[in-house]
Structure 1
Amino acid sequence: MVVLGEVLVEVHAGTALREAADGTPARLSYSGDALNAAAAAAAAGARTALLAVVGDDELTAPLLRRAAELGVDTSHVRRAPRPNGAYLLAADPDGDRAFVYWRTASAGSTLSTGHIASWRTVLSRTKALITSGITGALSESSREAVVAAAETVHACGGHVSYDPNHRSRLTDRAAARSLLARVAPHTGLLKSSCPADAVALVDTADPGTAAVRYRALGARAVAVTAGPDRLLLDDGTAARLHSVPANPDPVDATGAGDCFTGTATARLALGDGLADAVAYGAAAASLSVSGRGGTGRVPSFCETRALAAIHRAATGAA
């Protein structure tokens, strides 16, 4: 399977950003929704490649090295004579997070349909593609690249997972809704947050209504996260609300949604049914919040499967 999107340099501050002062400690890492999802997919057992454009600065080599350490194939990654995008993050276990981004004219924003054409062989043969609204919001060329990739994979019989992941600092509602309308008909699994994404994109704070509206746009199955402990899955035949396994030691929820999408998509590509794949995604996402930053904790599939089984037995889920 392949993940199309942006890789970012991550600087994790040791204190709230408003309280940061000279000498504030920080941790350097690598993240971005594409890398987070790709790392989770690889950990879930899928052979996973990253389709991205990275920069020519001094952080490119360690960035790619980290991706490889996470089990992600970087042989298809392209380079551009631009800096890598970066962000500064401060987070706490309750989910309160603050971000400062440096993305303007980044290498990732140069993603285009030309790149998609160069990856056509990979895309036409893959079992699954993950991409997102963040990727499509980086630039006009990135938006067209997301659509072209989704069209290519769907036309060749592959599965597409799409996370609208609306970011108002990157794009306005109209552009995000337009991209969603173009990608949804090619999507096998659409993952959305509620109320954040749902209010912005389909005008509702109700998870069930959101799922119905996403499916009306063409998505065949929809997973709507409604807070840290609930998830609604609508496969077109029924909509069911599921509880999410609790993490007794939460640290930082950054990347948890990406971990869900990466894990669930990997398991679909490997032949699991939708309900099982989503249950594994929820378990992996729960485990991931024990780490700091987007790729600070990428659970192995053994851990994910064990937690999903424990949760299933405790809740009596089918």
Structure 2
Amino acid sequence: MKSKERVVDVVVMGEPLVEFSAAAALDVADVFDLSFSGDALNASVAAAAAGARVALVTRVGADEFGERLIRFAAARGVRTGWMTRGEGSTGAYAVGADPSGQRAFAYMRAGSAASRMGPADVDRSPISEAGVVLLSGITAALSESCAEAVRHAAKAATGKVVYDPNFRSRLTTPEAARAVLEAVAPHAALIVPSCPGDSGPLFGTDDPEQVIRACLDLGARAVAVTRGPEGVLLATGDSTPQPVPAIPAKDIVDQTGAGDAFAGTLAGWLARDGDLLQAVRAGTAAASISLQGRGGTGRVATPAEICAHLGLSAI
């Protein structure tokens, strides 16, 4: 399907969260800034900033924070017609900023509106029409119905499925996360596991080449293993893994959401007919730029900034 015929270019499914962020550790912080984040929202905003038409499929509470989340997403170019208000509260979390990356999160999302998503939310969405569908292990870990929704979305997608395992030990077990990965992988155009964050719990290794082989053996068509300052290792099929260098950040304020910026920007570039390598490079640039802001959406890269980082002419 040609891009101009689509309702949207990218669909992201997951839970947006109210974010209370502090410049100090949570055990001593007493001043918090209010914003909005969560892996799905961060990735949606990044994909929209990259120039893609993005829909966020989720549920928010029928409360003031739910309304503010919808307005926040809309103001950043995300199409909000599939952000449904309903039963349950809008999820939230508190985070203490830490440039070293050893961040402490306190979540308030049990029984949230988004945790009540299921396959029906997929069926009412444009997932079957999108050029790229970005799915996450965090979404699958919210509840069994959410896990069913992620599996259903991977099967229903006709475009490229990008899956970020995004393992979180507070939400799920390695066994449950691995089961979802195994179900999604045969439908995935790309899996983007982190090493060692995802690779240890899901594959029992910190060797990125072993992670690539494991994902390809599960049926994924390509794998991009993110390795923080060591960059990304990318492979398709039986090709030799190709290193994609990280781009050093000018300043590191907070690492929250850098992986989401990578995945969202990558999805946006893929949907706009960019090739895989270029999309991965764009994602690394966006992740680098995101480190300069506090919180998941505190600093979002523009296409011009990404092109400048990559030495490309403006797109």
TM-score range, shorter chain: over 0.9
- The equivalent of 2:222 in structure 1 is 221
- The equivalent of 2:59 in structure 1 is 53
- The equivalent of 2:4 in structure 1 is none
CA contact under 8 A between 1:229 and 1:246: conserved in structure 2? no
1:14 is the counterpart of 2:15: no
Q: How far did residue 80 of structure 1 move?
A: 1.5
Taking the aligned partners of 2:230 and 2:197, their CA distance within structure 1 comes to 15
Taking the aligned partners of 1:230 and 1:281, their CA distance within structure 2 comes to 11
- Superposed, which structure 2 residues align to 1:298-313 within 5 Å? 298-309=300-311
Task: Report the AA paired with residue 108 of structure 1.
Answer: A
Range that drifts further, 206-215 or 220-229: 220-229
Taking the aligned partners of 1:48 and 1:118, their CA distance within structure 2 comes to 16
- The equivalent of 1:5 in structure 2 is 14
Aligned counterpart in structure 1 of residue 132 of structure 2, from 105, 128, 136: 128
Task: Report the AA paired with residue 220 of structure 1.
Answer: R
CA contact under 8 A between 2:24 and 2:98: conserved in structure 1? no
Q: How far did residue 308 of structure 1 move?
A: 1.4
Residue 59 of structure 1 aligns to a residue whose secondary structure is helix
Q: How far did residue 215 of structure 1 move?
A: 1.1
1:74 is the counterpart of 2:75: no
Task: Report the AA paired with residue 179 of structure 2.
Answer: S
- The equivalent of 1:178 in structure 2 is 179
- The equivalent of 2:254 in structure 1 is 252
Q: How far did residue 106 of structure 1 move?
A: 0.4
Deviations 1:237-269 (A, max 9, x none): 120122111012110111111111111111111
Range that drifts further, 61-70 or 227-236: 227-236
The Cα RMSD (Å) is: 1.1
Q: How far did residue 76 of structure 1 move?
A: 1.4
Extract unaligned runs of 5+ from structure 2. 1-9
Q: How far did residue 201 of structure 1 move?
A: 0.5
Taking the aligned partners of 1:43 and 1:216, their CA distance within structure 2 comes to 34
- The equivalent of 1:269 in structure 2 is 271
Taking the aligned partners of 1:65 and 1:136, their CA distance within structure 2 comes to 25
1:37 is the counterpart of 2:38: no
Aligned counterpart in structure 1 of residue 240 of structure 2, from 224, 238, 241: 238
Taking the aligned partners of 1:187 and 1:300, their CA distance within structure 2 comes to 27
- The equivalent of 1:288 in structure 2 is 290
Aligned length: 302
Residue 192 of structure 1 aligns to a residue whose secondary structure is coil
1:139 is the counterpart of 2:140: no
CA contact under 8 A between 1:5 and 1:52: conserved in structure 2? yes
Residue 188 of structure 1 aligns to a residue whose secondary structure is strand
Taking the aligned partners of 1:57 and 1:49, their CA distance within structure 2 comes to 21
Question: Under a length normalisation based on structure 2, what TM-score does the superposition of the two structures give?
Answer: 0.94
CA contact under 8 A between 1:57 and 1:82: conserved in structure 2? no
Q: How far did residue 98 of structure 1 move?
A: 0.7
Question: Under a length normalisation based on structure 1, what TM-score does the superposition of the two structures give?
Answer: 0.93
Q: How far did residue 86 of structure 1 move?
A: 0.5
Taking the aligned partners of 1:229 and 1:249, their CA distance within structure 2 comes to 17
Taking the aligned partners of 1:233 and 1:56, their CA distance within structure 2 comes to 42
Deviations 1:13-47 (A, max 9, x none): 23111223xxx111000011000001010111111
Extract unaligned runs of 5+ from structure 1. 311-318
Taking the aligned partners of 1:304 and 1:225, their CA distance within structure 2 comes to 18
Deviations 1:73-105 (A, max 9, x none): 001111212111100001222222110001110
CA contact under 8 A between 2:41 and 2:73: conserved in structure 1? yes
1:84 is the counterpart of 2:90: yes
- The equivalent of 1:313 in structure 2 is none
Taking the aligned partners of 2:23 and 2:279, their CA distance within structure 1 comes to 35
Taking the aligned partners of 1:38 and 1:52, their CA distance within structure 2 comes to 12
Taking the aligned partners of 1:250 and 1:53, their CA distance within structure 2 comes to 32
